[in-house]
Chain A
Amino acid sequence: MRNPQEAREAIDRLELPFNALGMDPYGISKRHLRLALTVLAPLYRHYFSVRVRGIERIPPRGRAMLVGNHSGGVAIDAAMVIASCLLELEPPRLAQGMAERFLNRFPVVSKWASRTGQFTGLPEHAERLLEDDRLLLVFPEGARGTAKLFRDRYTLVAFGSGFMRLALKTQTPIVPFAVLGASEAFPTIANATRLGRLLGLPYIPIVAYGLPVALPAKIEIEYGARLLFTGSGNEEDSVVSGYVRKVEETIAAMLQAGACRRRGEPRTGERT
């Protein structure tokens, strides 16, 4: 088996300040990362057969913010982006997501999120990680993004502006990315909001085939050219939202191009 070996090597080559127990100052644990990647790597390589373009656009060191579209009910996209940075980047980097608040309230999820560096999406966390020159993973659509239905899969819902203020304040380059296929892997037809609230979740995604299992759809991740905005982070809303729109448009364009490409594939297949 190549995968367990691959996962182990990737984690061993991570440039994070681990102590003798394999823990970094944030409580990120080598052992937990290894286990997580051992599970993710086969999904990445074989189940979703992830194809990545533009990975070299992520800086190998120093602070950076990955900003992209969210879809697919259960954040498969986040897991695949993290896997791509660990498996395809040289040296590997740990993308640290800004997780939804509800996750930290659940046993096991709370522990694994903490040990793998996926912290609650608080501005304090984001700023500290960027100042520490880490790689931040941001989905400005938040849970409204993963709640997107299958038919809306190539659209974006309104971006929050918090990420842009942080990027300006910390002078962080933004690497926009588009994920295609997460909605095909988890084609949500409806969301049970009330039931979700009862269980402390923002919603429960419902798929046509009943079982909440991801299908082996092909996932593509495209990283775009780095965007650097200059400012202090204290600009007026109108200025910041202009910058946010620029990022949004970049991602929307990548999504549209990808959607055409994906729609094109079966047609060319039919002709031959």
Chain B
Amino acid sequence: MKILIPGAAGAIGRKLAARLQESGHDVIGIDRRAWPNAPIEFHQVDVRKRAAEDVFRRVRPEVVIHMATVTSLVVSKEDERSLINVSGTRAVFEYARAFAVEHCVFVGRHTFYGAGPDSPLFHTEDEPPLELDRYPELADMAAADLYASTALWRFPELTTTVLRLCYSLGPDGHGTLAAFLMGRRVPLVFGFDPLFQFLHEDDYVSAIALAVAKRPRGVFNVAGPQALPLSSVVIEAHRTPIWIPEFLVSGLQGRLGLPRLARGAIAHLKYPVVVDARAFREHTGFHHEHDELETLRAFREAFPLSR
């Protein structure tokens, strides 16, 4: 099959491209970021630009995996992030319809549901996003996710799969959770210890590849092993947890070797975002290869710190 991946130059995108190519697919990547010596056909273009449309027109892919979304850690200017996530998603689905793509996969995030004191522990796909006002960095991602879901009724001839994946972690060290755990000391909010749900990078890629193979129509949470309290994640990663009272968190971040957090991220250090991923397992037969402890071991062996 011809598979086009907008956002292919990201860490997961590269892995996914390689995996799909190995299994015999014809993989084409586009991304605004560079990918020197890419092992696949790669075009460095912005997904919202004419040149990207030309790639769709020429390649005529059967499957599109939309990964060209960003979180606040990568792009600092907020307006631009919002444009990439929302108008980029719109562009991808417009091209997909215009060029008769059969299956479009939107790779979204489980943080869609938001973290708050009153949100339930396991989120199901029918829940609306909450707490967006407190975390504007996630609002445009949630908008892109919901926009992608409209393709389910707007373009019935196109099979649409919206995935809400939990954090990835592993030897590549990319992604929100890995970035948070990279330093020696990791800040935690005193008196709170939310559950964190993560998948090994390889399982993360497998889940997306499985969505391509099985073509489930609808919205699906994707997670694997059981969630762990953040303090256990930090300790198992051989990092030092630093418990900071909430009123000091915003003042201390970025100092004393602590990472800088996005505005609103503090809620995610107090309350869990845990998803119920049964529907995806039932529709695709997905099962993770690496459990939570193996995944943490892989991360800490790739990024060791002497204590």
A residues whose Cβ falls under 8 Å from a Cβ of B: 19-21, 23-27, 29, 101, 104-111, 114-115, 119-120, 122, 124-125, 128
**Least CB separation from A22: chain B residue:** B232
Q: How far is the CB of B110 from chain A (nearest CB, A)?
A: 16
CA distance A101 to B119 in the complex (A): 10
Check A101/B272 contact, CB under 8 A, given A23-B232, A111-B192.
no
Interface SS, B side:
loop
Check A107/B232 contact, CB under 8 A, given A23-B226, A124-B122.
no
**Can you name 19 A-B pairs with beta carbons within 8 Å?**
A19-B292, A19-B293, A20-B293, A21-B293, A23-B232, A26-B121, A27-B121, A27-B227, A107-B245, A108-B190, A108-B191, A111-B192, A114-B193, A115-B193, A115-B229, A120-B118, A124-B122, A128-B121, A128-B122
Q: Name the A residues within 8 Å of B291 (CB-CB).
A: 19
Number of A-B residue pairs at CB separation under 8 A: 68
B residues whose Cβ falls under 8 Å from a Cβ of A: 117-118, 120-122, 189-195, 226-229, 232, 236, 245-246, 270-272, 291-293
Inter-chain contact A27/B120, CB cutoff 8 Å: no
Q: Name the A residues within 8 Å of B271 (CB-CB).
A: 104
**Least CB separation from B190: chain A residue:** A107
Which residue of B117, B121, B189 is within 8 Å of A125 (Cβ)? B121
Q: Name the B residues within 8 Å of A120 (CB-CB).
A: 117-118, 120
Inter-chain contact A124/B120, CB cutoff 8 Å: yes
Which residue of A19, A26, A110, A119 is within 8 Å of B192 (Cβ)? A110
Inter-chain contact A23/B191, CB cutoff 8 Å: no
Select the residue from A27, A107, A110, A124 with max chain B CB neighbours within 10 A.
A27
**Least CB separation from A128: chain B residue:** B122
Q: A19-B292, A21-B228, A21-B293 are in contact. List 10 more A-B contacts (CB 8 A).
A: A24-B226, A27-B228, A107-B189, A107-B190, A109-B191, A114-B194, A114-B195, A115-B193, A124-B122, A125-B121
Q: Name the A residues within 8 Å of B226 (CB-CB).
A: 19, 23-25
Q: How far is the CB of B232 from chain A (nearest CB, A)?
A: 6
Q: Name the A residues within 8 Å of B194 (CB-CB).
A: 114
Which residue of A27, A105, A125, A128 is within 8 Å of B272 (Cβ)? A27
Inter-chain contact A107/B191, CB cutoff 8 Å: yes
Select the residue from B193, B236, B270, B271 with max chain A CB neighbours within 10 A.
B193
Q: Name the B residues within 8 Å of A106 (CB-CB).
A: 191
CA distance A19 to B270 in the complex (A): 23
CA distance A106 to B191 in the complex (A): 8
Q: Name the B residues within 8 Å of A25 (CB-CB).
A: 226-227
CA distance A19 to B294 in the complex (A): 13
Check A23/B117 contact, CB under 8 A, given A107-B189, A114-B193, A124-B122.
no
Q: Name the B residues within 8 Å of A109 (CB-CB).
A: 191
Q: How far is the CB of B268 from chain A (nearest CB, A)?
A: 14
CA distance A101 to B292 in the complex (A): 30
**Least CB separation from A25: chain B residue:** B226
Which residue of B121, B191, B232 is within 8 Å of A21 (Cβ)? B232
Inter-chain contact A101/B120, CB cutoff 8 Å: no
**Least CB separation from A129: chain B residue:** B121
Q: Name the A residues within 8 Å of B117 (CB-CB).
A: 101, 104-105, 110, 120
**Least CB separation from A26: chain B residue:** B121
Q: Name the A residues within 8 Å of B121 (CB-CB).
A: 26-27, 119, 124-125, 128
Check A23/B229 contact, CB under 8 A, given A101-B117, A107-B191, A110-B191.
yes
Inter-chain contact B120/A125, CB cutoff 8 Å: yes
Q: How far is the CB of A158 from chain B (nearest CB, A)?
A: 23
Select the residue from B120, B194, B292, B293 with max chain A CB neighbours within 10 A.
B120
Inter-chain contact B192/A107, CB cutoff 8 Å: yes
CA distance A115 to B192 in the complex (A): 10
CA distance A20 to B192 in the complex (A): 22
CA distance A59 to B192 in the complex (A): 33
Inter-chain contact A23/B120, CB cutoff 8 Å: no
Q: Name the A residues within 8 Å of B118 (CB-CB).
A: 101, 104, 120, 122
Select the residue from A20, A104, A106, A109 with max chain B CB neighbours within 10 A.
A104
Q: Name the B residues within 8 Å of A108 (CB-CB).
A: 190-191
Q: Name the A residues within 8 Å of B292 (CB-CB).
A: 19
**Least CB separation from A19: chain B residue:** B226
**Least CB separation from A107: chain B residue:** B191
Q: Name the A residues within 8 Å of B229 (CB-CB).
A: 23, 27, 29, 114-115
Q: Name the A residues within 8 Å of B270 (CB-CB).
A: 110
Inter-chain contact A27/B195, CB cutoff 8 Å: yes
CA distance A116 to B62 in the complex (A): 49
**Least CB separation from A127: chain B residue:** B120
Q: Name the B residues within 8 Å of A23 (CB-CB).
A: 226, 228-229, 232
Q: Name the B residues within 8 Å of A107 (CB-CB).
A: 189-192, 245-246
Q: Name the B residues within 8 Å of A101 (CB-CB).
A: 117-118
Q: Name the A residues within 8 Å of B190 (CB-CB).
A: 107-108
